[in-house]
């Protein structure tokens, strides 16, 4: 049974989402972890009639760079509070014309291009995570139905390429990632999603496309050779900047929060995450003391 210090649903806020509850309506707690401090204190409140634990990924003043986020601490803290389902929000760039700025995406696949990040809880034992479908199918179905009912531009699938950051892509990298099958680009989905899975937490991701990455919009009939040679269609938008991303997120904040609330409401009451590593292994990680 949930009490004021527990929740079974967690929300991880991405860039631009630093508060989820009205001031004075949530309990705020610091959760010590074996992996250091979380990116922000955790707020526990009510959203869409459900108890929700909220943590903002970059800190409340956007002070934590993507390559410096301690995802192990964030996920361990949420799981220790009882969270079994995480709704994560992400600001992403669009690599494909069908994923234009202003579009919501319920991500279904990712390609990890990060390096050097602490990406597993199992440093001293072998646990092979089953990761063919990174995002929980039950939560994705609930999210798709919830977002489809809203009057917003929406894609029910999308492959996100996760880059190291904090820099943005070169034009050549942007074309290459699209040619490789990427629809969106982001800096934080990995190792967040696999770490959640290692602790027995199901994840669903709601991305909001803020930009067109390096500004490229290759023509539909363009060949890979043309793209490599630089013979691509003129950009329809200027290359991404941090300020442009934040400005677009600020304008969209109300609809992003509304969309997250719709997904939270749609999480089944009897939801049970997939067991992608043995539950006993997850339990050993949770038994670690700060």
Q: Burial code of 88-125, b = ≥16 C-beta within 10 A, e = fewer?
A: bbbbbbbbbeebbbebbbbbbbbbbbbeebebebeeee
3-state secondary structure of 225: helix
CA distance between the termini of the chain: 25
Closest CA to 92 of 256, 172, 212: 212
27, 211, 226, 269: which one is catalytic? 211
Contact 206, 104 (CB under 8 A): yes
- Among candidate residues 30, 145, 213, 269, the one labeled active-site is 213
CA neighbor of 210 nearest in space, from 93, 41, 55, 123: 93
C-alpha neighbours within 13 Å on the C-beta side of residue 255: 18
* CA separation for the pair 134, 75 (Å, rounded): 15
Rounded (5°) CA angle 97-164-286: 115
- 27 catalytic? Reply is no
Q: Clarify whether 211 is annotated catalytic.
A: yes
Catalytic amino acids? 211, 213
């Amino acid at each position: 049974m949930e009490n004021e210090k527990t929740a079974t649903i967690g929300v991880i806020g991405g860039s631009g989402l630093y508060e989820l509850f009205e001031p004075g309506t949530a309990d705020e707690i610091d959760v010590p972890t074996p992996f250091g401090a979380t990116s922000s204190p955790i707020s526990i409140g009510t959203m869409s009639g459900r108890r929700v634990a909220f943590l903002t990924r970059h800190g409340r003043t956007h002070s934590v760079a993507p390559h410096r986020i301690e995802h192990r601490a964030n996920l361990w803290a949420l799981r220790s509070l009882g969270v079994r389902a995480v709704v994560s929000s992400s600001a992403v760039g669009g690599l494909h014309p069908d994923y234009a700025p202003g579009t919501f995406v319920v991500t279904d696949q990712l390609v990890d291009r990060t390096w050097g990040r602490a990406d597993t809880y199992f440093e001293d034992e072998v646990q092979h995570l089953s990761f063919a479908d990174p995002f929980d199918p039950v939560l994705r179905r609930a999210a798709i139905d919830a977002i489809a009912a809203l009057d917003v531009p929406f894609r029910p699938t999308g492959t996100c390429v996760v880059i190291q950051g904090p820099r943005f892509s070169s034009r050549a990298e942007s074309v290459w990632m699209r040619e490789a099958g990427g629809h969106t680009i982001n800096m934080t989905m990995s190792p967040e999603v696999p770490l959640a899975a290692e602790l027995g937490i199901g994840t669903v991701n709601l991305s909001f496309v803020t930009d067109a990455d390096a500004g490229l919009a290759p023509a539909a009939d363009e060949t890979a050779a043309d793209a490599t040679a630089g013979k691509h269609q003129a950009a329809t938008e200027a290359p991404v900047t941090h300020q442009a991303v934040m400005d677009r997120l600020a304008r969209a904040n109300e609809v992003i929060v509304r969309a997250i609330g719709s997904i939270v409401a749609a999480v089944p009451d009897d939801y049970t995450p997939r067991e992608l590593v043995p539950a006993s292994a997850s339990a050993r990680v949770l038994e670690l003391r700060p």
